[in-house]
Structure 1
Amino acid sequence: MLSPRYWTFLFIVLAAIAYSMVKHLNQPELIVSPSDPFSYRYLELDNGMKALLLSTPDSDKAAAAVSVSVGSGDDPQDREGLAHFLEHMLFLGTEPYPEAGEYQAYISRNGGVHNAFTAHSQTTYFFEVNNTALAGALDRFAPFFISPTFDEQYVEREKNAVHAEYKSKYKDDFRRIFSAEKQAMNPQHPYASFSTGNLDTLADRDGSHIRDELLTFYQQHYSSDRMTLVLAGNYPLEQLEQWAKEHFSAVPQQDNSGDQSSNQQPLFKPGQLPLDLNVEPVKEIRRLQFTFPVPASKHLYQYKPIQVITSLIGHEGEGSLLAYLKQKGWAEGLSAGRSLATDNETTIVVQVSLTRNGLLHTDQITQALMHYIKLIKQAPLPDYLITEQATMSELSFRFQEQSRLSDYVVRLSSNLLIYPSHDVIYGDYKWLPISQPTLKPFLDALNVNNMLRTLIAPNVASEILDPWYGTPIRLRPSQFPNLSLPEEGLEALHLPRANPFIPDNLEASVKQASSQPEALINDPQRSLWYYAEQDFEQPKAHVRVLLQQPEIQQSARARVLARLYTRTVNEALNTYSYPAHVAGLSYNLSVTGEGVLLHIGGYQDKMPALLQRVLQEMQQIELSEDAFKRYKNSLQRGLENQLKGKPYQRTMEELKHWLFEPSFSAPDLLAELQDVSREDVLTFAQQFRNQVAHELYLHGKLSRQQANTLAQLVQDVFPANHPRLAPSQVLQAPAGVHQQALQLDHQDSAFTLYIQGDENDDQTRAAYSLLGQILSAPYYQYMRTEQQLGYIVFATPYPQKTVPGIAFIVQSPQATPQQIRAQSDIFFRQFDSQLAAMPAAEFDNFKQGLINLLLEKPKNMAEKASRYWRDLGNQRFSFDTLEAIAAEVEKLTLNDIQQLYQHAIMQQQQPWLIFTQGGELPDTALLQTVDRSQQARFQLDTLTSDNQASDTQGNEDQSH
């Protein structure tokens, strides 16, 4: 039976939904959250294109997305990657704008971003730009779908870019495992094909020219009636509708588009399952993965059968499958969710992260999974499980928080391909009670005879290589159904009980909002900063508790012990805290460069209880020898895997490690980890409170009294008894050009050039930010599109804490670091004349674009809290970093930027640090010869309000 509070709560939520349906009188068919400030209009153009318009008041940004119901699953046979290749080509010239890079340059100089992706059954293109530039962006964007040129020279060049993308992921375990799994599927099903493409699949052949095939594919599939459009901007709906019709009515509706029939081949052939697949990864990954093909579910979106099932299998509370596997010492984590979803089928995937011991018990883990599924099948699910899921989904809709506008239009354009128009916004949240007959076919499909079981681990038995990524694999019929294993301990498994963390009180506790954070406590050993939210009317809060410890800041060994300590606490709390996470209240306990950071965020109703429980667990940990070994092995594996990251990522990690003091690299931590014992961790936990300082920040609809009460909870458990710590510092790089070469086991080379500013005042930060933005698009255009040096290419402002800088980054499958450096120098010389001749109007566009970006309002409470927390960490107690830098950008002249370019780049008067993979640069000093201990440090440019406090922002201990 449901308790009265559930019925009352459901009534309130459903009443709010009813209100939302009539909120926008001009579009009553669209169900909109009452907390949504936008206005909407749905229409269908004469050519059959579906369109959704969003009027976004007070927004400085506008955005658009177009989704096409075609993807890699539509690739012609023997032309793997053609849909992906086509996505690339649409960026390289249209009839109104034939110059490749014009679209990208316009977006960049108007403060925007753009991208696209190709999935199995859809391709989506999107951008975000300054609101004032929306019309010009649409003028360049719409011709993608009307008159692309497919210029022959770029067809040849872009094949290399696709190949570079393929090679850049050649040692990416996600791509390798994804490809290996396809070898177990029905080869006639399009999902089993190679979707990225490379020089072989896209090569010209006798009687088959790739450009001709591109044109045919485009004309066949890019039809207006298979497209959806979303436009968002701070304009009246009437204006947006006019632009939608003006720009997109000319998108052709192809005569042959209706001839396309969806694939009817099953993902696995009849009788093909069950199968066992072994996959050997590059990194040390240990995972047991179960894939079940189940019936199509897209048409049942309002009942969400897949989410009902996977939320139960993936539950982590008391009696859960994960709790049982952890108790056995076999697993570290578990997730369950939907993978493929087409009109014909769905796949449910369960992933279990294994311990080393778990590798020896894969059959027992399989049996435990099937036992838990049996519990779900035994009888109709308790009403409270269905009600809780629906309640939290409705609550999320009622208090819907805005995300980045470009992300939102992408989601809506995808939804338009799936949901009826009235549910395009609400469909993700709509959750009606599901009947047992509706659920039964999905549960019936979860059986051992309908399962692909994949074991991913180092040195697993293998027989063949995956043809696309060279991954060692073995594929055999599964023997599991013939095994009979004892069911020892399985009686501990049970379905989740009623969730005590479902919020009851949704009223805000504060009536008077704050203009900016204020210090309620400001002692030498502890501070409490408080902000009463004024912009977001939500019953939520964010609490950050930084427990500073000098030993953690200064010692690599203490960092290691702290990470093992927090892992112990997190594991002990998992079954308790997981229901809170499900109910919209989550915590994160992590190690920073200054101590241990506890962040709790979500509905504030049950927040004090969660905070108190976490603090109590931190005070009195229990750690068995077996658990310690698992945590230690897990930490070692994570650090070793970090060293196997992508080359460009590794160069950036090494750059950050060099710049920050104190700083400890992955090898530093691995060296300390070797002789750490269980007793060391217990001693660290017992002594943790001996030297501790507090930095607290509370943000939300909490009252001052509640803020002080939460701060007292912390003080009671961990009394502050040590002066607050100064933050980590950024080193001033040595004058001249210095290099550090990495030796990574990767076929790609990498080149990262970092140019550091000489001051960290607002004016210098503004100048470097603007120069970095100006350089971004042309560097990409020259290095990637024209020179074809690699798929990963970017130039960007690269500030570290308050220190400005610019980074130029390239990862290449064929060019050496020396060649990348030479081409970068050519670009710098060429761009010197371009910058000298830049029109004033173009420069003003760049300025306004950056100003808009800096002054963009936070989209949700979490983002706003993070901004203030960052200012606290940089001791900016005026809380106006972005506003102050924007004001300095406004003052900059083109001459200022030209002089900075000459000084920092052409004359190399600022420090250059170059990190490479794939070889050293000739005639360049080695960074290893520089004594870091003798380098000066940047001091924080502290600006204060009436309140004073010390640093609160730690950085991840791997790099800072």
Structure 2
Amino acid sequence: MFSPRYWTFILIVLAAFGYSMFRISQSPDLIVSPADAYSYRYMELENGLKVMLVRTPEADKASAALSVNVGSMDDPKGREGLAHFLEHMLFLGTEPFPEPDEYQQFIKQNGGSHNAFTSYAQTTYFFDVDNEKLSGALERFAPFFISPTFDEAYVDREKNAVHAEYSANLKEDGRRIFSAQKMAMNPEFTFSSFSTGNLDTLSDREDSKIRDELISFYQTHYSSDRMTLVIAGDYELDQLGNKARQLFSDIPERDVHFERPDVPVFVPEQLPLDMHIKPVKEIRELRFTFPLPEILSQYQYKPVQLLSNLIGHEGDGSILALLKKKGWAESLSAGRSLSTHHASTMVVGIGLTKSGLLHQEEITSILMEYIDLIRTNGIPDYIKEEQRMLNEMTFRFQEHGPISNYTTRLSSNMLIFPVEDTIYGDYRSEPAPDELLKKYLSGLNADNMLRVLIAPGVDTDTTDPWYGTEIKIRPSDYQKPETSEWTGALHLPKANPFVPENLETAPGEASDTPELVTSDNGYQLWYYPEHEFDAPRAQVLIDLKVPAIKDSAEQRVLARLYARTVTEALNTYSYPASLAGLNYRLSATSDGLEIAVSGYFDKLPVLLDQIFTEMKNMDISNEEFDRYQASLVRALENNLKARPYQRTLADLKSWIIEPSFSDTDLLPVVTSATEDALEQFAAQLGNTISVTTYVHGTLSAETANAIGAITQKYYPANTITDTASKLLKAPAEQFQQPVSQDHPDKVMTLYLQGTDTSDLSRAEAGLLAQMISSPYYQYMRTEQQLGYIVFATAYPQKSVPGLLFIVQSPTATPEEMMNHSRIFFRDYEGKLETMSDEEFALFQEGLITRLTENPKNMGEKAANFWADLSTGRYTFDTRQAIADQVGNITKTQILNLYRRAVLNNEWSWLLFEKGGEVNDMTPLNTLDRTSLEQFTVPEYPLPAVKNPAAATDDRK
């Protein structure tokens, strides 16, 4: 039975929904959220292609995504990675557009982006572009699936790119663990195969050329009736439908009859198994995989989601709460891992402490006892109903993100769900019948389990042939204890106190930008009444600036330990809030602490008050301090093992920003930190502090003031601080610095630093980057085959414009990368000189579209305002001001900038490399950083306080 509170909640939600959880689109039976401003139509072309059309009113961007029901599990034996290789090849020329860079150049020049991915069961291609250029993008996109050329020269070259992608991941634990776990699976289950491909699996052979096999695979797997297409843009649905028919009707409907074998994930009678995996980074995890029946046909009940939510719960009585109390675990996650039409798996991953490594049997028994608790007692109706109502509420107040993410999701959903549930299927959550739950619960037992220990130093006896990961597989030795040690410590979650009850929106008078409500002695309260996105949500961002943190490595370390301590102490309390759509984050910054709370605003003040209460009353045991300290050491050490290009970027930022402290700098400081110092940090946190609170949402000005009052109650501001770090101005010469790391790839990261902070300079650098990005990629990656990770981009830092060129390669040295970059730089001058005015204008329009694109949801809008507020740009117009400058730039200005910055070296060049020095570049360590000039950041006056009677204005 439900409590009166739950009946009240249900009635409130139903009233807010107007007794209608959804509306019907122009396609009969297609279920759409009433909050969704988009219009939809489903159609099927004569060739069997399933098409969803989406009208997106007043959208800046248009998008398309096409999914093919073909993936890596369909690779022919011995040709592992062929589906992935085919995905690469479709970008490199079609009969109407044979040039290999035509598609990506068009997309980039018109303010868009593109990509594709190959998963085990599908391959998806997608792009977004300036709305007005949708037709041109579709004209270049559709031939991928009609008339790709498979140019022999690029077949040979792109093999190297696939191999470079494989090589770049050789030290990536995610890929290594993913691949290693497959070795425990049934070799006849095709998911267990190697999926990326490399030069061995994709090479020509005496009896077979890879190009021939590529074409054969394309012709026997890519058929229109196995594809789904989504086209979205600000066009009438009839116009979009005509485009779909005109451009995609020629996709061949081939006689494709391949079937995926119905074989079990693991060899029958093979389980239970224990497995060891030795990682590269300092990772400690105990992972449990349970093979289960397929779940695609049960999507409306979401049985595995319901069970995963209970096992992964972090509140009182949960597995994680008990493991943390024992000091054995730091995190726990549970969820579906794979899902095919024949099988699925659930994975439970438990992040271990060092102590937890010694208690694997007890941890396993706790997991099994909790599952037995569910099996014995069943799942109460209030938990099922709560999940259903929260899913319905999320659907009712659905928000859109980037349009290409949405088209990609819809095209994937069309492969899985009935047409009417293309949108609603992710949210549909009917209460699961007990018999259905028993079917899946029966698979969650110790005899049907792969238990994997991932940790340094584990015992191993063999290696994964693809990534060289050291592993060991053996029959499991887990024995269920005869008596339970955990009776009473584990129980199912109680009714969620954070489920919102007030769903009425009441924003104040509409405003174009945030309003300054209070300004007094280092305290600012800003408020933005949201009218565009009508959902009962809010975003609250609080910046606590502490001067001591900026200049002290010790204080920065203590701030991170403090944030971790408070977050851990709040976890049991706050986890139900996250389930109810109310999330928070407490994080250390370079000059203080930041608190972000977002979601349904009804219980937001309650959560915020508890956050501050915990911050004020921080309490930590010796054991907890040791654990958090060790965890921070591990995180810093793991950062040093990131991808080579990520390491060079981290070192670059550490060098140009003052003050800053690298991971290497912080490591010894962390190890010397003490519990007493942390407690002193907590006690003194409010002694010298300035506070900025930003409240954004469909709530009233009075509520915003009340939220600001909570901040002031616990941490009243008492000083005006200028704690922002500065950017060093490097000399206009060429410098280099090596980065050491145990990774087979080599890398160059070249940063060209601008000379001033004006909007015009940022606009010019952004436009030049927009123009040069695609040609640089085409030359360095496609033509010269120097690596998989290649890009050129704008890289502004603290209002200073910059250009960034990155190449990571398994074979080329930094010297070779730089030589080819210089060749490209010299040649590109001619292309700039001869570029037509029409082509130049396209680049301008594309960048303007990107800069002025409207936010898709409340969170994105708040983040844009917060970015300006954090840098003190109180006009809140950075993106628009730069876009206005872009529109006035001439080609001559860009050519002059290119010559100054790139050809004549009037900008500073900073090269961070791994794999060998570059000739004719000066070591960066010859520069005295302390003597360098710092850029001056533009200052903007504070606006007038909206209600001067309510506060004192401290503007200077």
TM-score (norm 1): 0.97
1:779-858 equivalences in 2 (<5 Å): 779-858=776-855
1:224 aligned residue: 224
Alignment partner of 1:132 is 2:129: no
Q: Distance in 1 between matches of 2:422 and 2:11?
A: 23
State the distance in 2 between where 1:486 and 1:820 align: 64
Q: Which whole-Å deviations, capped at 9, do the CAs of 1:872-921 have from their partners, x for residues lacking one?
A: 11111011111111100000011111111111101111111111011111
Q: Which residue of 2 aligns with 1:57?
A: 57
- Matched with 1:449 is 447
Out of 548-557 and 284-293, give the one that drifted further: 548-557
In structure 2, how many angstroms separate the alpha carbons of the residues matched to 1:565 and 1:619? 11
Query: How far has the Cα of 1:261 moved from its partner?
Result: 1.3
Distance 1:173 1:157, change over 3 A: same
Q: Deviations over 1:502-541 (max 9, x none)?
A: 0000011324222211111112321111111121101111
Which of 735-744 and 284-293 deviates more?
A: 735-744
Q: Which secondary structure state, in structure 2, belongs to the residue aligned with residue 142 of structure 1?
A: helix
Deviation track 1:417-453 (CA, whole Å, cap 9, x = no partner) reads: 0001110011000100111001111100000010000
Instruction: Mark the CA change 1:582 to 1:20 in structure 2 (over 3 Å): closer, same or farther.
Output: closer
Deviations, residues 180-199 of structure 1 (Å, cap 9, x unaligned): 10110111111111000000
Amino acid at match of 2:310: L
Point out the more displaced range, 539-548 or 141-150. Answer: 539-548
Report the equivalent of 1:287.
285
Aligned residue for 1:672, secondary structure, equals helix
Residue deviations 1:149-172 (CA, integer Å, cap 9, x gap): 111111110100000000000000
C-alpha separation in 2, matches of 1:566 and 1:773:
39
The counterpart of 2:470, out of the listed 469, 472, 483, is 472
Is contact 2:545-2:723 (8 Å) kept?
Answer: no
Indicate if the aligned counterparts of 1:329 and 1:358 stay in contact, CA closer than 8 A: yes
Instruction: Give matches, 1:656-671, under 5 Å.
Output: 656-671=653-668
Post-superposition Cα deviations, 1:72-111, rounded to whole Å, max 9, x if no partner, equal 0000011100000000000011111111111011111111
Structure 2 CA distance for aligned equivalents of residues 672 and 231 of structure 1: 53
List aligned pairs for 1:397-436, cutoff 5 A.
397-436=395-434
Structure 1 segment 106-125 matched on structure 2, within 5 A = 106-125=106-125
Aligned to 1:308: 306
Query: What does residue 149 of structure 2 align with?
Result: 149
Who is 1:621 aligned against? Answer: 618
* Structure 1 residue identity aligned to 2:587: S
Provide the C-alpha distance between the structure 1 equivalents of 2:169 and 2:465, rounded to a whole number of angstroms.
Answer: 15
Whether the 8 Å CA contact 1:17–1:33 is kept in 2: the answer is no
- Name the stretch that deviates more: 491-500 or 3-12: 3-12
Deviations 1:399-421 (A, max 9, x none): 10111000000000000000011
d(CA) in 2 for partners of 1:828 and 1:490? 70
1:952 aligned residue: none
- Deviation of 1:738 after TM superposition, in Å, equals 0.7
Q: Which amino acid aligns with 2:692?
A: E
Q: 1:443 to 1:926 in 2, by over 3 A?
A: same
477 and 193 in structure 1: CA distance in 2 versus 1, 3 angstrom threshold: same
Paired with 1:513 and 1:596, the residues of 2 have a C-alpha distance of 30
User: Which residue of 719, 732, 735 maps to 1:735?
Assistant: 732
- 1:194 equivalent to 2:194? Answer yes
* Partner residue, 2:343: 345
Match of 2:604 among 590, 604, 607: 607
Partner of 1:438: 436
Conservation of the 8 A alpha-carbon contact between 1:111 and 1:848: yes
Shift of 1:4: 4.3
- Counterpart of 2:685 in 1: which secondary structure? helix
Q: Does 1:583 align with 2:615?
A: no
- Structure 2 spans left out of the alignment, 5+ residues: 947-956
Task: Give the letter for the 1:392 counterpart.
Answer: L
1:531-930 to 2 correspondences below 5 Å: 531-930=528-927
Equivalent residue in structure 1 for 2:938, among 930, 938, 941: 941
Cα drift, residue 603 of structure 1: 0.5
Whether the 8 Å CA contact 2:275–2:471 is kept in 1: the answer is yes
1:61, 1:233 within 8 Å by CA — same for their partners in 2?
A: yes
* Corresponding position of 1:955: none
Q: Distance in 1 between matches of 2:408 and 2:48?
A: 19
3-state DSSP class of the match of 1:76? coil
- Aligned equivalent of 1:82: 82
- CA–CA distance in 1 between the matches of 2:359 and 2:28? 56
Cα distance, 1:857 vs structure 2: 0.5
* Equivalent position amino acid for 2:621 in 1: S
* SS of residue in 2 equivalent to 1:80: coil
* Residue of structure 2 equivalent to 1:234: 234
- Deviation string, structure 1 residues 812-869 (Cα, Å, up to 9, x no partner): 0000000000000011111110111101111111000000111101111111111111
* Structure 1 residue 11: Cα displacement: 5.1
Q: What is aligned with 2:332?
A: 334
Displacement of 1:19? 4.2
Pairwise CA distance, 1:9 = 4.3
Aligned residues of 2:732 and 2:905 also touching (Cα < 8 A):
no
Alpha-carbon separation, structure 2, partners of 1:216 and 1:510: 60
Classify the secondary structure of the residue corresponding to 1:492. coil
Tell me the CA shift for residue 485 of structure 1: 6.3
Question: Identity over the aligned pairs, expressed in percent?
Answer: 54
* Aligned mates of 1:524, 1:919 — CA distance in 2: 53
Match for 2:858: what amino acid? M
2:467 pairs with 1:502? no
8 Å CA contact retained: 1:5, 1:504: no
Q: Which of 351, 365, 368 is 1:367 aligned to?
A: 365
Is the 1:162–1:791 contact (alpha carbons within 8 Å) kept by the matching residues of 2? yes
- Residues of 2 paired with 1:168 and 1:794: CA distance? 15
Offset of 1:679 from its aligned partner? 1.4
- TM-aligned CA deviation for residue 487 of structure 1: 2.8
Q: What does residue 162 of structure 1 align with?
A: 162
The change in CA–CA distance for 1:467 and 1:17 in structure 2 (over 3 A counts) is farther
Give 1:18 deviation, angstroms.
Answer: 6.5
Deviations 1:335-393 (A, max 9, x none): 00101100000000000000000000111100000000011111331111011111111
Deviations 1:264-315 (Å, cap 9, x if unpaired)?
1211011110000100000000000000000000011110011000000000
Q: Aligned partners of 1:943 and 1:845: how far apart in 2?
A: 33
* Aligned counterpart in structure 1 of residue 513 of structure 2, from 516, 520, 527: 516
Tell me how far 1:28 sits from its aligned partner: 3.5
Residue 689 (structure 1) shift: 1.8
CA distance in 1, matches of 2:752, 2:322: 52
Query: C-alpha displacement at 1:714, in angstroms?
Result: 1.5
Deviation at 1:490, TM superposition (A): 4.1
Q: Distance in 2 between matches of 1:928 and 1:487?
A: 62
Counting matched residue pairs gives 945
Deviation for aligned residue 1:470: 0.5
CA 1:817–1:17 in structure 2 vs 1: closer, same or farther (change >3 Å)? farther
Q: Which letter does structure 2 place at the counterpart of 1:532?
A: P
Give yes or no for contact 1:75–1:83 (8 Å, CA) kept in 2: yes
CA distance in 1: counterparts of 2:654 and 2:483, whole angstroms: 51
Distance 1:870 1:330 in 2: 39
Aligned CA-pair RMSD: 1.3
Deviations 1:47-67 (A, max 9, x none): 001000001110010000000
Q: Distance in 2 between matches of 1:32 and 1:801?
A: 42
- Partner amino acid, structure 2, of 1:765: R
The AA in structure 1 aligned to 2:128 is: E
Partner deviation per Cα, 1:431-479 (whole Å, 9 max, x = no partner): 0011100111110000001000000000100001110011110110001
Q: Please give the secondary structure, in 1, of the residue aligned with 2:694.
A: strand
